[in-house]
A and B are shown apart, each in its own frame.
Chain A
């Protein structure tokens, strides 16, 4: 009886019901869209930053995070790598060497970061520099005297494919050592500082020059199937107790990015809260108006024996239906955007300045959405909850109507 009554009451004010449901749908649409875009941006940033060196989770020599230095190292042998790769959610564990040094040609020299990588283990999927290859190729083996340089660095030093450069760094004993390499490839990430100050060298060559033993590395970059699992994986790696190591998640090694994401996340919550308030205010207004319009009807219902609680529940049921209708409309409105943005994305490239980056991480110029089931469920539940909450006051109002005056008010 109550459901039927509530439903027919909404049908009676068809246009108003539809408009209110549409405002719920719009609220859902806007929050879902923005959350999806933010999820993608954050995910993309974390993944790109992981591919620029440290992985989602980083196994490092003890004390490296506090004071990084090329003489801190640990044994990252095949056993450590295979144990790590066998952990749940881990897709890849890649040893790398990081050092600071000088890069020079006959005429000029500049300071830069040196990353030692094993070409047999690296792919474009886990290495943003390979993915950003502009010309040439990666060196074929870990001991080939080849080097990959950023495009700005190549311009500064007047380097071309096949040209030679000298790199210099401090070895494990603190001695200045240098070696020669031939440019095999040039990358272009779009980030000025990276393209102008990073070179990739073969892992074995660098080990040899810096005085590392076989299998020693500065870090193992661990890649996950989902960056949100970083803490879990970190705990699992720590449980393996690899000697002389510490393990950190991306949010601990890349505090700048983590901080940015947190701030963005908080501002998103505020934004969603305000959208929610707007939606709730709209529902409150409509339902309250509809209650005040039906004073006489409610008076009659009270007179023939409806309890105040019945009227309370009736009005709440009406806002329940509006919320439900709004959710369904919201799904319908949102679907085309979701399908388009998750499948193809919308390219904002022309609107963004060249080399747009945050904290040395280039941003994806394509607007996409990613939805996590928990987010969608949370947002839908919140919007729905707000619709019900907005019905509470009018419902209470209805239950407090004095029957006599309500009947007389016609």
Chain B
């Protein structure tokens, strides 16, 4: 299991039914992502990036094809097993509105650890360290509405990272940020990828973000249109 790819999609197809119309969002897509990769998923709007991330993160099920995460076929897992897997093995970062509005930055980052049942003291140490790593020291007690977009995304990344998951899936994490903020968020992601060995798979439209990925997978109309490795 350790030797194989951490994420593997084989011939994945996703068809949405919208009334009488069938929308094929993903069409026979296959790809494998290795452990420790820092991969960007690119493509025009509507090409299927979000759909792929949702399927990998077990938030959505493919119409056909096979998805494995750390060697586990997602189709074999129960609802409970899937939610445990999301909790313990996957970190999610969305484009916006990531955080639970009634919880502070600290509590948002702590949320998943609390779901895991980790003791308070241990939680505290981990969360404080993580918030420091993403540069949010001193902002622990702010509510999301009291943080800038970039700061909110950093809380989301801290929340995703703090459980030390196998994979972080990020759907256009920089789309709502100005370029300086986007660049600093990317630096944080790169740093975490290198120092903690966490696999990143993120979607983006942004050329400057693509430039910093080590692998770029391009989608077009739900099909693989390019797969480029750098370095």
A interface residue numbers (CB < 8 A to B): 1, 4-5, 8-9, 11-12, 296-297, 300-308, 310, 403-404, 407-408, 410
Contact = CB atoms under 8 A, between A and B. Distances in A.
Contact of B115 (A306, A403, A408): A306
A272 B89 CA distance: 51
B101 A12 contact: yes
A348 B84 CA distance: 65
A304 B97 contact: no
A305 B59 contact: no
Interface of B: 50, 54, 57, 59-60, 79-80, 83-84, 86-88, 90-92, 94, 96-103, 107, 111-112, 114-116, 159-160
Given A4-B107, A306-B87, 15 more contacts: A1-B111, A9-B102, A11-B102, A12-B101, A296-B97, A297-B101, A300-B97, A300-B99, A300-B100, A303-B86, A305-B87, A305-B115, A307-B83, A307-B84, A408-B50
A279 B172 CA distance: 45
Given A304-B86, A306-B115, A307-B83, A5 B59 contact: no
A185 B172 CA distance: 99
18 contacts: A5-B103, A9-B102, A11-B102, A12-B101, A297-B97, A300-B97, A300-B99, A301-B100, A301-B111, A303-B94, A304-B111, A305-B84, A305-B86, A305-B115, A403-B59, A404-B59, A407-B94, A410-B97
Contact of A303 (B50, B57, B107, B115): B57
A303 B84 CA distance: 10
Nearest to A7: B102
Nearest to B57: A303
A307 B80 contact: yes
For chain A, what secondary structure do more than half of its interface residues adopt (helix, strand, loop), or is it mixed?
Answer: helix
Nearest to A403: B59
Contacts of A11: 102
Contacts of B115: 1, 304-306, 310
A302 B107 CA distance: 16
Contacts of A304: 86-87, 91-92, 111-112, 115, 159-160
Contacts of A300: 92, 94, 97-100
B86 A8 contact: no
Given A5-B102, A5-B103, A407-B59, A305 B112 contact: yes
Complex A-B, nearest 4 residue pairs according to Cβ-Cβ distance, in ascending order: A305-B87, A8-B102, A1-B114, A305-B86
B59 A303 contact: yes
A303 B100 contact: no
B66 to A, nearest CB: 19
A410 B99 CA distance: 13
A11 B103 CA distance: 12
A12 B112 CA distance: 22
A375 B47 CA distance: 65
Contacts of B87: 304-306
Nearest to B55: A404
Given A305-B84, A305-B87, A5 B92 contact: no
B59 A302 contact: yes
Nearest to A310: B115
A297 B86 contact: no
Given A305-B87, A305-B115, A404-B60, A12 B102 contact: yes
Given A1-B111, A404-B54, A302 B101 contact: no
A1 B103 CA distance: 10
Contacts of B99: 300
